[in-house]
Amino acid sequence: MPDVHHIAPYWAECLGGADRMLHELSVLLGARSDIACLIAEPMRSNCIVPPAGLWRAVRSLCDQHRVKLIFDEIPSGLGKTGRFFAHEHFGVTPDIVVLGKALGGGVLPIAAVLADASLDVAPELALGHYTHEKNPVTARAALTTIEIIEDEGLVGHAERLGLVLEALVRERMVGKANLITGVRGLGLLRAISFRARPGMTEAQIVAAGLKAGVSFTMKGPNVLGFSPPLVISDADLGYALSAVAGALDGM
């Protein structure tokens, strides 16, 4: 897309973090009148939780300059953080939300754009033709996914298990030999930090996790993404954390 202006996100501490992000946004919106929207993830999947008040300040800057706020909740939406939308944690309502990934139950490809009704201004216009748009099978999968999330109370489940995970990590941190040093994030969208043994590479850590039966990605040299499915049980959560700890210890 032409004319996109990138602003480093709040979690980029080395570039000035949230204060710099807000300052840059404020200068940009003050200087230009041709900005249509701001697109951001309310919490990046590196699980660095935004500072209190950040998104409220962004929302008010957007309102002041008549700029639409669009949240990409593809990794964070649909209950993952213990709220249906992650932005509910931060007390703001965006104009548009984008969902994907888990919307198809994790197996069928479907994404969605949810917009405020005031933006539904051209229902008679076809805005594009894609081979797989309006696909009834994946649309049904998405609706069923949402029904299951509601019927099984999975949003509250994610919130509760997030607290269980925090407690389990705290218990582990009491042991001096334990390599796990902390957990961050919200609900079941988490990242676990650890003391890396000298010489451990990220690829080796991921491979050790897989060997122990747990699949994760790295979110930095000393941090791994811990993002279990919404339906995980208490027992499996405890098992997965032990497997991660065992994989780190065994390296």
Ligand X SMILES: Cc1ncc(COP(=O)(O)O)c(C=O)c1O
Question: Under the rule (CB under 6 A), what is the footprint of ligand X?
Answer: 41, 45, 72, 74-75, 100, 111
Helix (H) or strand (E) run with residue 236 in it: helix 234-249
Judged by CB, which is closer to ligand X: 204, or 217? 217
Q: Which residue has the tokens 């040093």?
A: 181
| CB of 101 vs ligand X, minimal distance in Å | 6
- Residue 101 forms beta bridges with which residues? none
Separation between Cα atoms, residue 110 and residue 133, nearest integer Å: 9
How far apart are CB 132 and ligand X at their closest, in Å?
A: 12
Min. distance of Cβ 176 from ligand X in angstroms? Answer: 36
Nearer to ligand X, 111 or 163 (CB): 111
Provide, rounded to whole angstroms, the least separation between the CB of residue 72 and ligand X.
5
- For ligand X, the closer CB: 49 or 74: 74
Q: Which is nearer to ligand X, 216 or 245 (CB)?
A: 216
CB atoms within 10 A of CB 174: 7
Q: Which residue is nearest to ligand X (CB)?
A: 100
Could you tell me if 95 and 63 are in contact, meaning their C-beta atoms sit under 8 angstroms apart? no
Q: Which of 177, 158, 250 lies closest to 212, judged by CA? A: 250
Take residue 141 and report the two structure tokens written for it. 């999968």
Task: Kindly state the smallest distance separating residue 203's Cβ from ligand X, in Å.
Answer: 19
Question: What DSSP line would sit under 42-71, residue for residue?
Answer: SS-TT--PPPTTHHHHHHHHHHHTT-EEEE
Beta strand segments in the chain, E: 37-40, 68-72, 96-99, 112-115, 180-186, 189-194, 218-220, 223-226
Nearest residue (CB) to ligand X, 72 versus 95: 72
Number of H helices and E strands in the chain, helices first, is: 6, 8
Nearer to ligand X, 55 or 196 (CB): 55
CB of residue 76 vs ligand X: minimum separation in angstroms? 8
Amino acid at 99: L
